Structure 1
């Protein structure tokens, strides 16, 4: 199998921690290089990936033979860099949030379709252990008819603001929260949101979605929650699944581990972190599916070669951004927004 040569734009925390180790260890992928002009970032790249070259521009990366690229830069630059990559004929992955609003996202998706260039969005949280476990329980019918879905990304870090590069809490955490709700329960028809700002940056958000399927999704994102709630609480007519804490793949990458170093242990959750299935006064642990962030890039590489579908349809990014735009309007006006 011919490896797909994929490069990376940006080597800040996102590129360095969340993308480079997965690109370097992905089956069917050759890590083709990193676009960064920063001397500090280039030194970090040389230390961690000494065989991976650095480039000044996207054009230089393409000229060196890259076939595809991942864009992991501040959110405000995503759309312009994606347009540049598409113009160079590079298959493109855009980190979340795809852009700052739905209009820019739609323009990029339509451009890629017109040019016939593969385009995807990096929704790695679709490959979380807990999320994959929820999907299994829904497929098995274990919970009966689901009435309410609760999902949280809550942290307590009063000394810090959410990274502005991610677009604030609504875009940074909300891009994952809304995407997961859509995958599980389909499109939303109305949106209500609340938001708390500190120095013009949203640090705490709540978004409620009503889905066409009838399910109500309640989504929280916060950097100021001293007592985080369950990661998921999925309530159905025959049972409720509750899991606490975050999937462990983020912590593993931050600790310097990767699929290459852990092998079959990558993404395996210890039993004490498993969620529980509750039925009234009774509750029992539920085996967690293995987290598989390591599957995204092999799937994308295969799609670039015409050997499979894209891991995430770019039109899903438009749908997510439509909801996040509506949430911002709702939080400003206090009114529910119909989609």
Structure 2
């Protein structure tokens, strides 16, 4: 399988290229980037992978599938261009500016019968995989509240989040995880934070999602938080599971490591990063599952060979986008919004 990448910024360079280059049974053939500096980085980091001036030139060179990792502004046009040329495509997150744009891309892929998926790699974070295992085993009992946050102090990121803010950028992961664990959402409430130097690009958010099954998800993120809270805190009738820090795969990729270089060490969390199970006076470590971002591309590759479903379906990506739309409108109005029939007649 010949795979191409469009974009070699932070996301393309660190979150996609090393995984594509490590994917068994596939060849990472080219990258679209016009930046001379990024072309030098590509040549140094992936010798033999050719740089191209355009998506059309990369497709003409021969690819079976494309990954689009460019800023959200303009990304939809590139995804659509791949679809119209009959090439299977993965869109980076956030998937779209809003649900209408997401639906248009999904409809185009359906008309052309082109596989379309969205890169929700954090479904394969070590903490998320561990939590899912605990829930499936019934170790937490009946879950009542899911708290999930990603908080950092990165003032240089203010005003630079894709999609007009951290809600749509980072929030897409947190909403997707909540939907994976607890299913459809009935009501949404949100609050957004803005800095004076970037009054239209939120740097922090809080979401309360009331799931149809009764679970409440509290999701939050910020790039101006000096004292981050727990990554996860999940409360159930039989106990509580907490994790402090982020999954280590991001740091590993940014440091220049990859699944190919690390082999069986990839995604393994050192025991001091494991989470805790607590109930009353009982407090014990929970061994973390191995993080596995490469699994996204393995499942995508299998799906393109007709050997299973896409790792993230268009319908799932659309569901996340609708909730993000509702969250922004909730924050604007200061109201709880019902998801039944949303979006309504008003433009978001």
Q: Does structure 2 retain, via aligned residues, the 8 Å contact 1:29–1:298? A: no
1:164 corresponding residue in structure 2: 161
Separation (CA, whole Å) in 1 of partners of 2:264 and 2:231: 25
Q: Does structure 2 retain, via aligned residues, the 8 Å contact 1:330–1:336? A: yes
Query: Which blocks of at least 5 consecutive residues in structure 1 are unaligned?
Result: none
2:49 corresponding residue in structure 1: 52
2:150 corresponding residue in structure 1: 153
Q: Which moved more, 1:325-334 or 1:74-83?
A: 74-83
Aligned residue for 1:75, secondary structure, equals coil
User: How big is each residue's C-alpha offset from its partner over 1:84-125, in whole Å with a ceiling of 9 and x where there is no partner?
Assistant: 010111100000000111110111011111111001000000
Q: Which moved more, 1:230-239 or 1:29-38?
A: 29-38
User: How big is each residue's C-alpha offset from its partner over 1:167-208, in whole Å with a ceiling of 9 and x where there is no partner?
Assistant: 311011100000000000001011000001122210110000
Offset at residue 166 of structure 1 (A): 5.0
Separation (CA, whole Å) in 2 of partners of 1:107 and 1:89: 16
Offset at residue 338 of structure 1 (A): 0.8
Separation (CA, whole Å) in 1 of partners of 2:305 and 2:49: 22
Q: Does structure 1 retain, via aligned residues, the 8 Å contact 2:203–2:224? A: yes
1:130 corresponding residue in structure 2: 127
Backbone CA RMSD of aligned residues: 1.0
Q: Does structure 2 retain, via aligned residues, the 8 Å contact 1:109–1:119? A: yes
Offset at residue 157 of structure 1 (A): 2.2
1:303 corresponding residue in structure 2: 303
Separation (CA, whole Å) in 2 of partners of 1:250 and 1:45: 19
Offset at residue 160 of structure 1 (A): 3.9
Separation (CA, whole Å) in 2 of partners of 1:165 and 1:236: 34
Separation (CA, whole Å) in 1 of partners of 2:303 and 2:160: 32
1:38 equivalenced with 2:40 (yes/no)? no
Q: Does structure 1 retain, via aligned residues, the 8 Å contact 2:97–2:163? A: no
In the comparison of the two structures, how many residue pairs are matched? Answer: 336
2:342 corresponding residue in structure 1: none
Q: Does structure 1 retain, via aligned residues, the 8 Å contact 2:277–2:283? A: yes
Tell me the TM-score normalised to structure 1 length. Answer: 0.97
User: How big is each residue's C-alpha offset from its partner over 1:253-299, in whole Å with a ceiling of 9 and x where there is no partner?
Assistant: 01100001100000000111100000012210001000001111122
2:24 corresponding residue in structure 1: 27
Aligned residue for 2:302, secondary structure, equals helix
Judged with a 3 Å threshold, the aligned counterparts in structure 2 of structure 1 residues 75 and 159 are, in CA distance, closer, same or farther, namely closer
Q: Which moved more, 1:318-327 or 1:308-317?
A: 308-317
2:201 corresponding residue in structure 1: 201
Superposition misfits of 4+ residues, deviation over 4 angstroms = none
2:293 corresponding residue in structure 1: 293
Query: Which blocks of at least 5 consecutive residues in structure 2 are unaligned?
Result: 340-348
1:313 corresponding residue in structure 2: 313
Offset at residue 159 of structure 1 (A): 4.6
Correspondence list, 1:175-194, <5 A: 175-194=172-191
Aligned residue for 1:93, secondary structure, equals strand
Separation (CA, whole Å) in 2 of partners of 1:162 and 1:173: 13
Aligned residue for 1:190, secondary structure, equals strand
Offset at residue 300 of structure 1 (A): 0.9
Separation (CA, whole Å) in 1 of partners of 2:157 and 2:64: 38
Q: Which moved more, 1:211-220 or 1:74-83?
A: 74-83
